[in-house]
Homo-oligomer: A and B are copies of this chain.
Amino acid sequence: MTKKPDGPRFRRYSSETRGAMLIEAALVCLARGGITAFTVDNICREAKASRGLITHHFGSKDALLAAVYATMYDRFTAVFDEGDRLPGAVGLIEANFDPAVFNPESLKIWLALWGEIANNEDLRAVHRQRYQDLLDQVARTLAEEAAARGKTIDARSVAVQFVALSDGVWVENGIDPTMLSREAARESCYAFLENLLGALARPAAASIAEIGGPGPSSD
């Protein structure tokens, strides 16, 4: 008298779609428990799929991890490429602290990934490419801003410093937000650039309004 299993017992997705679902589930696992929770069982349970799918669609668990890393970088640079973001150095900082990028889950994921890159040649290769592109974009923005203000800076060097400072405040906030709040982290970045470029006009509360975050995780 149990419910008749009339309908399909599972759904078939394209390899691309299922891959995206597995990546999404993997991100959830990474955010929840770090690289230790990045296991086939956890991920497939989160994705409500059987355990064979990771190997089937990605070839191996490591390949999935590489795809996860690429996805994280894509999402980060996507924020920079948004058409409606603020121009110049201010936009640079605000993009760094955009809620889509700067949130507890993402920071935990970055921390977990950084710890693995040193041990995974594939991840390191992806990083090298993406980081180079990111650096170019930051340097270009800073050079333009400096030129518009009649200042002369070594844009490349400053870009490296700026990205490193961003990574640093990400680390501190990701490890323990009570030690370095999001606001203090952003203020650090402003102070750093203002020392080189002069006063920067912080945006009104408009783009800072949605600080509340994405709400409680439905765990």
Decide: B176 and A124 in contact? CB cutoff 8 A.
yes
Q: Tell me which residues across on chain B come within 8 A of A114, comparing CB atoms.
A: 111, 114-115, 171, 174-175
* Complex interface: stretch among A4-12, A79-87, A143-151, A184-192: A184-192
Q: Tell me which residues across on chain B come within 8 A of A118, comparing CB atoms.
A: 34, 107-108, 111-112, 174-175
Q: Does residue A208 face the partner (Cβ distance < 8 Å to B)?
A: no
- Give min CB distance, A68 to chain B, whole Å: 14
Decide: A188 and B131 in contact? CB cutoff 8 A.
no
* Complex interface: stretch among A14-22, A70-78, A160-168, A209-217: A160-168
Q: Does residue A56 face the partner (Cβ distance < 8 Å to B)?
A: no
CB within 8 Å of B: which A74-105 residues? none
In whole angstroms, what is the CA distance A161 to B193 when docked? Answer: 12
Q: Tell me which residues across on chain B come within 8 A of A165, comparing CB atoms.
A: 161, 164-165, 168
Q: Please give me the residue from chain B that is nearest to A33 by CB atom.
A: B119
Q: Please give me the residue from chain B that is nearest to A111 by CB atom.
A: B115
- Give min CB distance, A19 to chain B, whole Å: 23
Decide: A157 and B188 in contact? CB cutoff 8 A.
yes
Q: Please give me the residue from chain B that is nearest to A30 by CB atom.
A: B115
Decide: A34 and B180 in contact? CB cutoff 8 A.
no
Decide: B168 and A171 in contact? CB cutoff 8 A.
yes
In whole angstroms, what is the CA distance A77 to B187 when docked? Answer: 27
Decide: B35 and A131 in contact? CB cutoff 8 A.
no
Question: Can you list 23 pairs linking A and B with CB atoms under 8 Å apart?
Answer: A33-B119, A34-B116, A34-B119, A35-B36, A107-B118, A112-B118, A114-B114, A114-B174, A115-B115, A117-B176, A124-B176, A127-B176, A128-B178, A131-B176, A157-B184, A160-B184, A160-B188, A161-B191, A165-B165, A165-B168, A167-B172, A171-B171, A192-B192
